[in-house]
Structure 1
Amino acid sequence: MQTLRRQIRKQRRSLSSYQQAQAETRALNQLRRLNQYQTAQHIGIYLDAFGEIRTKKIIEMAFKHGKQVYLPVVCNMSQKLVWVEISQHQYRSKRFANHILGMQEPRKSRGFHVAKLDLLVMPLLACDEFGTRIGMGGGFYDRTLANSPRKPYRLGLAHDFQFLNIQLERQTWDQPLDALLTPSKLHRFKR
């Protein structure tokens, strides 16, 4: 598993700026047609930091469509994520703090439970044809979703090479995806 993680991280880091921009635009075009996006009012999404599909255009599109956008903040006590609503002004002026793990997050503000979200766009390292997701390694999304009374639609966002044709081992605590959106295809999974 560690070898797979290293390979995918390396492959993501090797993408050119042009390849990243193309992937972001193609993913955006697919997302805008997705019914779960169109009907969602509260969208949780990440700020890209480690070679994931870039989210800038998606976040701007959500603001343009009048959606409420939430970014994750790691709660140090529980090691779960809470979701902080951001404004378009806050996003554009980059009012974020650097987290110890290397990503940016909103400056401390009131965080909401994941149950408030209609759509949760999640980063990942890999996903198989059953919706099993290998996350970034901290288990934050799995812990956050495990005991939620209401679960948002879980949409993984990844480059095409992150969708694997092998079955990944799913642990009891792993939270599967409802769908995976790549630049070339939307993969839907049965739960």
Structure 2
Amino acid sequence: MHELRRQIRKQRKQLSSFQQVQAENFALNHLRRFHQFQSAKHIGIYLDAFGEVKTKKIIELAFQQSKRVYLPVICNMNQKLVWVEISQHQYRNKRFANHILGMQEPRKSRGFHVNQLDLLILPLLACDAVGTRIGMGGGFYDKTLANSTHKPYRLGLAHEFQYIRQKLQRQTWDQPLDALLTPTKLYRFKR
């Protein structure tokens, strides 16, 4: 697992800015027609920081469609994520704090439980044909979703090489995806 994470991180870093723009545009165009995005009123999404599929245009689309946008914040007490609503003004003016792990997050504010969300757009390192998701290794999304009574629709965004055809080992705490969107295809999984 460690070697797979290292290899995919390396591939993500080698993507050109053109490839990144293409991936973001494909995701944006697909999400415009994606039922779960269209019907969602509360969307949890990430700010890209480590070569993930960029989310700027998706966030802007959500604001244009009057959706409420939430970003994750790591709760230091239990290492779970809480979701902080951001405004379009806050987003455009980049009013975020730098987290010690290297990503940006909203400045401390009231965080909501994942149950508040209709759609959760997740970053990942790898995903297999049954929706097993491998993250960066901190387990923040898994810990957060494990005890959720309401399960928001879980959509992973990834570059094509992050979709792994062989079955990944799923641990008991791993929380699978409902779907994965890559630059070439939407994969749907049974939960």
Correspondence for 1:3: 3
Answer whether contact 1:30 1:183 (CA < 8 A) is retained: no
- Structure 2 letter corresponding to 1:34: F
* Runs of 4+ more than 4 Å apart: none
Corresponding residue for residue 175 of structure 1: 175
> Once the 2 structures are TM-superposed, how far is the Cα of residue 31 of structure 1 from its aligned partner?
1.3
Q: TM-score, normalised by structure 2?
A: 0.99
RMSD: 0.4
Correspondences of 1:72-151 after superposition (within 5 Å): 72-151=72-151
d(CA) in 1 for partners of 2:153, 2:32: 15
Deviations 1:100-149 (A, max 9, x none): 00000000000000000000000000000000000111000000000111
1:15 corresponds to which residue? Answer: 15
What is the alpha-carbon distance in structure 2 between the residues aligned to residue 137 and residue 92 of structure 1? 29
Separation of aligned partners in 2, 1:170 and 1:162: 16
Deviation at 1:152, TM superposition (A): 0.2
Secondary structure at the residue paired with 2:176?
Answer: coil
Aligned partners of 2:33 and 2:8: how far apart in 1? 28
1:183 CA drift (Å): 1.3
Report sequence identity in percent: 78
| Partners of 1:75 and 1:117 in 2: CA distance | 17
Q: Under a length normalisation based on structure 1, what TM-score does the superposition of the two structures give?
A: 0.99
Structure 1: gaps spanning 5 or more residues: none
Distance in 2 between residues matched to 1:39 and 1:46, nearest whole Å: 19
Q: Which runs of 5+ in 2 are unaligned?
A: none
The number of residues matched between the two structures is 191
In structure 1, what residue type is equivalent to 2:136? Answer: M
| Distance in 1 (alpha carbons) for counterparts of 2:29 and 2:107 | 30
Q: Distance in 1 between matches of 2:23 and 2:179?
A: 17
